[in-house]
């Protein structure tokens, strides 16, 4: 591994340092102004930027360029064009124009559009996002772009993300102006997205059709040892894993990705990578690259990276903690409460805006993390429940209660941590504990949104957070800008807001049954499945939120709702068909073979000695024969349920059927197959076991 990390960090990125070095002064100033303010780029500088970008990329080994975008598939897309341009009949030159930099064209009908594009309506456009740095990867210059249809509707996740960033900046500046800040030109929200993942040996992975086709194990009995001893979390890294992580870090650093923290997670063969905070659009780009490189580097080590939210039943799944904050263009964190948060009115107003946003749009926050894979994880004592709530900590909750009750706030003293060991220094404790069961928790100077699934593009959760908070800012600014007495108006607004939305604040155990009952009493939503959540997406209040702030229009929202249901049905369809194939072609024949050989062995023993005890063989044969017969019946039931669901035309009704009919049939089939596994001799069982997969890396 390269030891001089500063020398390689960002070496494959057309970043600010490279732009300052290679662009004329006026061009550089114009471009950086566009990036800093979010304004439209001056088209007259495009050719100069494109040429400098091309020359730099060629020096880095690039021969092609691509407009890199985020269609509504959950992953990225790219089409590669070479820099070559013919000169005469036998020569070429390397060219790249401003027009090619700014605009590209792609087939819009080949990506999910939710009915926005018919098969014959193929034209779509990609448009350069100057605020996300271009980079070179595998001999190609990657240009981050937005993606839209010929008629202008957003067909990607980046376009509404950028719009939401503008929305929270526009409305947030109104709040800052109320407090006398006239210098800030733009607010940025920043993200640090922690990424959890599993690693498996590739030879073992290749023997599991379910992992190959679906990313999760559809069958599998528990291993004798799981995570009961809690010895894997933060444990020493295995040599092979350490080597993988070192290579991954180096590749990410070359791309300017601040990969900071790595460690073992709670489950065997589970790990985590955490980057440093950065602006949201860059954080989204980088998280997509992190997931891509996790898979890519794993292959070089004979490993496979599993990003599914629940690859193994009965052990912790993988999430993605979205640490979200707001800062000024000078880098001041607006979620820093300071030493005396009870007196920090600006912070309390921003906190109130976030509390209000979470309560008003709890359905959208749930929808933003809704995914067939994440349904297996939420609320299963490894992730927050499906009920959205917010944790602010003991100190802030006491401040909020004092505001609502109109009583004096008694400061919470943090105290000193003294372990009673002279050689170990004392230190000041935080004023509040953490709550790992909370979906959205304040953790000192940021909010940690913990509901995201590990395979997710983090754009949608941040689109919702940005836009919902922008709406709170707008309502607050509308109320305060013309107030006769600003201080009195702020005090009343804080009291009214916290009193109205106190129900969303919860500091207890989110896993408990008591909380589920308490949440219902408070009137909070409990959308347990993705299908339940998706139905809330186009409620009138949600459409109004996105349209009022120009983040998505009603047509774009309708298309996404259609895609949500279609994608859910497709995922369950693939899983059901995979189970059917594995059961019929692999598991049932393997068990039959074992039972047959047991019968032959018993018969051979009886032939030698007529009164020999064959009760063991008979018992195993009876149990396996009964289970295998039931497995076959379960397969037939699953086939019927899947066929019925697939035949439903309406997307919502079809998803409902897959959720309520097909998934239970899949669970029944799995139950019987998993019961046969420990009864079947290992040399007959056709699949690597949980022990093989989690403990042989």
- Helix crossing, 345-360 with 158-178: angle to 10°? 140
Asked if residues 128 and 65 have their Cβ atoms less than 8 Å apart, the reply is: no
Separation CA 9–CA 250 (nearest Å):
8
d(CA 123, CA 108): 5
For residue 2, pLDDT over 70 is answered with no
CA distance 683 to 591: 11
Q: What is the pLDDT of residue 414?
A: 59
Contact 325, 190 (CB under 8 A): yes
pLDDT of 428 over the 60 cut? no
- How many other CB atoms are there within 10 angstroms of residue 638's CB atom? 24
Is 123 a residue whose pLDDT tops 60?
A: yes
Q: Is 662 helix (H, G, I), strand (E, B) or coil?
A: helix
Given a cut of 70, is residue 435 above it in pLDDT? no
Q: Which two tokens stand for residue 164?
A: 């939401």
d(CA 115, CA 137): 34
Q: What is the pLDDT of residue 412?
A: 64
Domain range 5-155, CATH class: alpha beta
Q: What is the mean pLDDT of residues 334-347?
A: 92
DSSP string, 214-274: HSS-SS-PPPS-SSTT--STTPPPPHHHHHHHHHHHHHHHHTT--EEEEEE-SSTTEEEEE
The pLDDT tens digits for 148-165 are: 988 888 899 999 999 999
HEC readout, 307-341? CCCCCCCCCCCCEEEEEEEEEECCCCECCCCCCCH
Please give the pLDDT value at position 603. Answer: 87
Q: By three-state DSSP, how is residue 21 classified?
A: helix
φ and ψ of 205, to 5 deg: -55, -40
Give the pLDDT mean for 23-47: 86
User: Do 83 and 65 meet the contact criterion of CB atoms below 8 Å apart?
Assistant: yes
Q: Is the pTM of this model over 0.95?
A: no
- The C-alpha atoms of residue 462 and residue 451 are separated, in whole angstroms, by 12
Q: What is the pLDDT of residues 224-238, one digit of tens each?
A: 887 767 677 878 899
Task: Please determine, for residue 222, whether its predicted confidence score (pLDDT) is greater than 60.
Answer: yes
How far apart, in whole angstroms, are the C-alpha atoms of residue 467 and residue 449? Answer: 15
Report whether pLDDT(416) > 70: no
Which of 33, 144, 54, 142 lies closest to 98, judged by CA?
A: 54
Nearest to 18 by CA among 54, 67, 62: 54
Residue with tokens 């927050």: 384
Name the residue with higher pLDDT: 610 or 617: 617
Q: What backbone phi and psi angles, to 5 degrees, belong to 36?
A: -70, -35
- For residue 463, the tally of other CB atoms under 10 A from its CB is 27
Q: What is the pLDDT of residue 44?
A: 85
Helix (H, G, I), strand (E, B) or coil at 198: strand
Lowest mean pLDDT among 249-253, 437-441, 682-686: 437-441
Section 320-348 average pLDDT: 93
Q: Exposure of 454 by Cβ count < 10 A (0-12 exposed, 13-18 middle, 19+ buried)?
A: buried
Average pLDDT over residues 269-273: 95
Query: DSSP assignment, residue 537?
Result: T
| The token pair that represents 430 in the structure block | 């935080």
**Domain 568-695 grouped into CATH 1.20.120.1560:** yes
Give dist(CA 366, CA 383) in Å, integer.
Answer: 13
Q: How far apart are CA 327 and CA 184, in angstroms?
A: 10
The sign of the torsion formed by the CA atoms of 405, 406, 408, 410 equals positive
Query: Once rounded to an integer, what is the mean pLDDT over residues 268-289?
Result: 95
**Residue 59 and residue 109 in contact, taking contact as beta carbons nearer than 8 Å:** no
* Main-chain phi, psi angles of 576, to 5 degrees: -65, -45
Domain locations in the chain?
5-155, 165-329+352-413+430-552, 568-695
Residue 1 pLDDT:
53
Q: How many CB atoms lie within 10 A of CB 442?
A: 24
Predicted local distance difference test score (pLDDT) of residue 429: 54
- 5-155 shares its CATH topology with 568-695: no
Q: What token pair was written down for 189?
A: 């929200």
- Split at pLDDT 50, 70, 90, the class of 602 is confident
**How would you classify the pairing of strands 427-428 and 103-107?**
unpaired
Largest CA distance in the chain: 105
CA distance 693 to 269: 8
CB 385 within 8 A of CB 439: yes
User: What kind of fold does domain 165-329+352-413+430-552 have according to CATH?
Assistant: Creatine Kinase; Chain A, domain 2 (3.30.590)
pLDDT of 644 higher than 90? yes
């Amino acid at each position: 591994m390269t030891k001089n990390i500063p020398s390689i960090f960002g070496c494959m990125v057309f970043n600010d340092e490279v732009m300052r070095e290679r662009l004329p002064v006026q061009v550089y100033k114009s471009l950086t102004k566009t990036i800093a303010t979010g304004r439209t780029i001056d088209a007259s500088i495009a050719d100069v930027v494109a040429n400098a970008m091309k020359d730099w990329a060629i020096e880095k080994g690039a021969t092609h360029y691509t407009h890199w975008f985020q269609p509504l598939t959950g992953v990225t897309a790219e089409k590669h064009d070479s820099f070559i341009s013919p000169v005469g009949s036998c020569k070429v030159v390397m060219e790249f124009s401003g027009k090619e930099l700014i605009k590209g064209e792609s087939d819009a009908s080949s990506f999910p559009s939710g009915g926005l594009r018919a098969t014959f309506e193929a034209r779509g456009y990609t448009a350069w996002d100057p605020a996300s740095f271009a980079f070179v990867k595998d001999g190609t210059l990657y240009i981050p772009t937005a993606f839209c249809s010929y008629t202008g509707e957003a067909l990607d996740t980046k376009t509404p993300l950028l719009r939401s960033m503008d929305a929270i900046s526009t409305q947030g500046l109104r709040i800052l102006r109320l407090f006398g800040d006239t210098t800030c030109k733009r607010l940025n929200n920043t993200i640090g997205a922690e990424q959890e993942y599993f690693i498996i040996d590739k030879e073992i992975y290749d023997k599991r059709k379910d992992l190959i086709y679906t990313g999760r194990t559809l069958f599998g009995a528990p291993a004798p040892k799981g995570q009961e001893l809690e010895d894997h979390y933060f444990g020493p890294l295995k040599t092979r894993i350490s080597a993988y992580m070192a290579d991954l870090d180096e590749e990410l650093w070359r791309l300017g990705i601040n990969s900071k923290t790595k460690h073992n997670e709670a489950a065997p063969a589970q790990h985590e990578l955490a980057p440093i905070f950065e602006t949201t659009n860059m954080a989204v780009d980088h998280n997509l690259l992190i997931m891509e490189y996790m898979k890519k580097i794993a292959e070089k080590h004979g490993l496979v990276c599993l990003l599914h939210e629940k690859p193994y039943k009965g052990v912790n799944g993988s999430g993605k903690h979205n640490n979200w904050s707001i800062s000024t263009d000078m880098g001041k964190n607006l979620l820093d409460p300071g030493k005396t948060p009870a007196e920090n009115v600006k912070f309390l107003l921003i906190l109130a805006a976030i509390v209000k946003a979470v309560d008003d749009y709890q359905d959208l926050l749930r929808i933003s993390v809704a995914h067939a894979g994440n349904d297996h994880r939420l609320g299963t004592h490894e992730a927050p429940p499906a009920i959205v709530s917010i944790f602010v900590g003991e100190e802030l909750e006491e401040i909020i209660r004092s505001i609502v009750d109109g009583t004096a706030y008694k400061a919470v003293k943090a105290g000193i941590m003294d372990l009673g060991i002279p050689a170990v220094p004392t230190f000041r404790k935080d004023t509040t504990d953490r709550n790992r069961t909370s979906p959205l928790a304040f953790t000192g100077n940021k909010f940690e949104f913990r509901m995201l699934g590990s395979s997710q593009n983090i754009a949608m959760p941040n689109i919702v957070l940005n836009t919902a908070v922008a709406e709170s800012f707008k309502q607050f600014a509308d109320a305060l800008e013309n107030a006769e007495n600003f201080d009195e108006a702020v005090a009343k607004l804080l009291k009214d807001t916290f009193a109205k939305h106190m129900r969303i604040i919860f500091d207890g155990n989110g896993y408990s049954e008591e909380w589920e009952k308490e949440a219902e009493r408070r009137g909070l939503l409990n959308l347990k499945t993705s299908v339940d959540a998706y139905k809330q997406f186009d409620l009138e209040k949600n459409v109004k939120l996105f349209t009022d702030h120009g983040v998505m229009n009603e047509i774009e929202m309708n298309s996404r709702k259609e895609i949500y249901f279609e994608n859910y049905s497709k995922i369950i369809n693939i899983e059901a068909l995979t189970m059917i194939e594995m059961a019929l072609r692999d598991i049932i024949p393997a068990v039959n073979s074992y039972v047959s050989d047991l019968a032959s062995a018993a018969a051979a023993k009886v032939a030698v000695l007529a009164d020999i005890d064959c009760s063991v063989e008979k018992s195993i044969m009876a149990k396996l024969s009964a289970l295998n017969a039931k497995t076959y019946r379960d397969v037939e039931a699953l086939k019927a349920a899947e066929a019925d669901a697939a035949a439903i035309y309406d997307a919502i009704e079809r998803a409902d059927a897959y959720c309520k009919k097909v998934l239970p049939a899949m669970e029944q089939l799995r139950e019987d197959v998993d019961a046969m596994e420990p009864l079947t001799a290992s040399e007959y069982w056709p699949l690597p076991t949980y022990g093989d997969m989690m403990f042989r890396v």
